[in-house]
């Protein structure tokens, strides 16, 4: 069960690494040439940060059904409490994804240095449609 959760957070880390790379490139470009940063980009980055964290928290909550823990069950609580638990679990999901993103950005930087034109995170950001 923990392998599935780890794979899920590695995927979340890849998404966050692409978002942070996109954000970094646009902010550096803003300070370099004094081009205004479009307000719509903040909404895009926010959606790419919030929605995957929420989906990860929902998936983790649903995985507790298959994990036979005695103290935690999706069916023991009323729906409002379940929704609150899922939303509150999105905050640790954000931090777990950010930790993976930092590691992936470091590995990407090392690979860029060693391999030249290799930039896996930039290609992922372009594939997700993030501004660069």
Cβ-based neighbour number of residue 31 at 10 Å: 9
pLDDT tens, position by position, 51-65: 999 998 888 887 777
Q: Which range of residues forms the domain containing residue 108? A: 3-128
Contact 12, 57 (CB under 8 A): no
Mean pLDDT, the chain, as a whole number? 82
Contact 132, 122 (CB under 8 A): yes
Flag whether the pTM goes above 0.85. no
CA distance 109 to 124: 14
Average the pLDDT over 111-125 and give the result. Answer: 86
Supply the DSSP symbol for 122: H
Higher pLDDT, 28 or 76: 28
- How many separate domains does the chain show? 1
Write the DSSP symbol of residue 38.
Answer: P
> pLDDT digit string (tens) for 81-105?
778 888 888 888 889 999 999 999 9
């Amino acid at each position: 069960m923990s392998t599935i959760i780890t794979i899920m957070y590695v995927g979340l880390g890849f998404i966050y690494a692409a978002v942070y790379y996109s954000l970094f490139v646009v902010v550096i470009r803003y300070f370099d040439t004094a081009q205004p940063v479009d307000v719509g980009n903040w909404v895009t980055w926010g959606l790419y940060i919030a929605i995957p964290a929420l989906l990860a928290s929902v998936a983790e909550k649903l995985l507790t059904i298959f994990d036979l823990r005695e103290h935690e069950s999706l069916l023991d609580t009323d729906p409002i409490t379940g929704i609150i638990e899922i939303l509150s679990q999105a905050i640790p999901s954000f931090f777990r994804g950010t930790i993976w993103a930092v590691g992936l950005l470091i590995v990407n930087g090392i690979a860029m240095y060693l391999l030249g034109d290799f930039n896996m995170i930039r290609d992922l950001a372009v594939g997700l449609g993030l501004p660069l």
